[in-house]
Amino acid sequence: MSFFSRLSNGWELAKVSFSTINKNRSLLLFPVFSTISLLLILASFAGGTFFFIGGDLSNLENFENENVNVTVNAVIVFLYYLINYFIIVFFNSALIFCAVKILNGEETRLSEGIQFANDRIGKIFGWAVLSATVGTLLRFIQNAGKAGEIISSIFGVAWSILTFFAVPILVFEDKGVIDTVKESGRLMKQKWGESLAANVSFGIFHFLGILLAIAIGILLMPIHPVLGILLGVLAVLLVSTIVATAETVFIAAVYNHIKGAPTGEFDGDVLDSAFITK
C-alpha cells in the first residue's frame, strides 16, 4: 500500500476520532483542565521572575551577564518541566482511561478518569521526572547554537515517536518508567515502522483549523480589534483542544486494537492498513 493510501486511511481514522468526541464531548474537558492548570503554572513562574528582577527589565540583562550557576538554571528549568509534564500526563491518563471505556462500549464519567489517574499518581510522577530530565537536556543542547538546535529537534522528534504509546502502557500495565519506554518503542516498531500517516492527518486537521481560527480573527479586526484578537485566540485554543483529544482517542483505539480489545467505531483493518508493519 502506498503512502498516500495510508494517508487516506489516516484521514478516515482521524474522522472517526472526531466523531467519537462529538458523541462524548465531556472528553474535551480533560485538555481544558490541563490547559488552565498549565496557564496558572506559567503565570506563577512569570510572577516569580518579575519579583526576582524587581519589575525592571534592565535587571534581566544584568542578570544574564553575571556568572550564574548553571546548576541553578538547570534546576529551575527542570522544575518547570516537571510540573508541566506531571499536569499533562495526569490529565492525559484520565482522558485515555475514559476513552478506552467508551471504546469498550461502557459508560464513564469525568470523576472516574480523575480517580483513575489519582490512583496512579506515583507512576505519573515518575514519568514526569523522566520527561523533565529529557526536556531539560534537550533545552540545554538547543541553547548550544545552530548545531544544538538541529540535534535537539532530531532527538525531540525521536523521543516523541518512541514514547507514542507511553501513557496507556504506563497506566494500564504493570511496568516501570524505563520498561514503559521500551514497550512503547517495541509497539511503534511493530505497528508504525517508517510511516506516521495518521499523525500527518491530525496535523492537517490542526493546520486547517488554526488557519480558519486566524481568518476569523482577521475578519473581525476591522469591526472590533480586541474582539477579533480574543475570538481568534479562543478559536485557536478550541481547535488545539479538539485535535489533542482526538489524537488521544486514536492512541486509545490503536492500543486497544493491539491488545485485542474493542475499538468502538474504529475499523480494525483500517487501523492495520494505516501503518507499515515491520
In a domain, 79, yes or no: yes
266 or 138, greater pLDDT: 138
Residue range 186-204: mean pLDDT, rounded:
69
Residue range 67-71: mean pLDDT, rounded:
60
Q: pLDDT at position 264, please? A: 84
- The full 3-state SS of 12-52, as one line of letters, equals HHHHHHHHHHHHCHHHHHHHHHHHHHHHHHHHHHHHHHHHH
Residue range 77-105: mean pLDDT, rounded:
93
In a domain, 278, yes or no: no
In a domain, 229, yes or no: yes
DSSP code for 165 = T
9 or 34, greater pLDDT: 34
Q: What is the mean pLDDT of the chain?
A: 83
pLDDT in tens, 12-25: 888 888 999 999 98
- Check if the beta carbon of residue 218 is closer than 8 Å to that of residue 228: yes
Nearest partner of 168 among 88, 248, 224, 264, judged by Cα:
248
In a domain, 155, yes or no: yes
Whole-prediction pTM: 0.82
Nearest partner of 248 among 98, 104, 58, judged by Cα:
98
In a domain, 192, yes or no: yes
Query: What one-letter code names the amino acid at 211?
Result: L
Q: What is 198-210 written as a DSSP string? A: HHHHHHHHHHHHH
> What is the Cα–Cα distance from 188 to 185, expressed in whole angstroms?
5
Q: Which of 37-41, 98-102, 243-247 has the lowest mean pLDDT?
A: 37-41
Q: pLDDT at position 188, please? A: 81
pLDDT in tens, 206-217: 888 889 888 888
Residue range 93-122: mean pLDDT, rounded:
94
Which three cell numbers, joined as nine digits, stand for 126? Answer: 515518575
Q: What is 79-124 written as a DSSP string? A: HHHHHHHHHHHHHHHHHHHHHHHHHTT----HHHHHHHHHHTHHHH
Q: pLDDT at position 58, please? A: 46
Helix axes 3-23, 225-258, angle to 10 degrees: 110
SS3 277: coil
pLDDT in tens, 154-186: 999 889 888 988 999 999 998 999 999 999 988
Tally the residues of the chain.
278
| Cβ-based neighbours of 21, under 8 Å, separated by 6 or more | 27, 28, 242, 245, 246, 249
- Check if the beta carbon of residue 274 is closer than 8 Å to that of residue 9: yes
> What is the Cα–Cα distance from 225 to 69, expressed in whole angstroms?
44
> What is the Cα–Cα distance from 215 to 152, expressed in whole angstroms?
32
In a domain, 173, yes or no: yes
Number of folded domains that form the chain: 1
In a domain, 195, yes or no: yes
In a domain, 196, yes or no: yes
pLDDT higher than 90, residue 115: yes
Q: How many CB atoms lie within 10 A of CB 112?
A: 15
> What is the Cα–Cα distance from 215 to 207, expressed in whole angstroms?
12
Domain membership of residue 109 as a residue range: 3-273
Nearest partner of 261 among 270, 272, 252, judged by Cα:
252
In which band, very low, low, confident or very high, does the pLDDT at 62 lie, cut at 50, 70 and 90?
Answer: very low
Q: pLDDT at position 92, please? A: 95
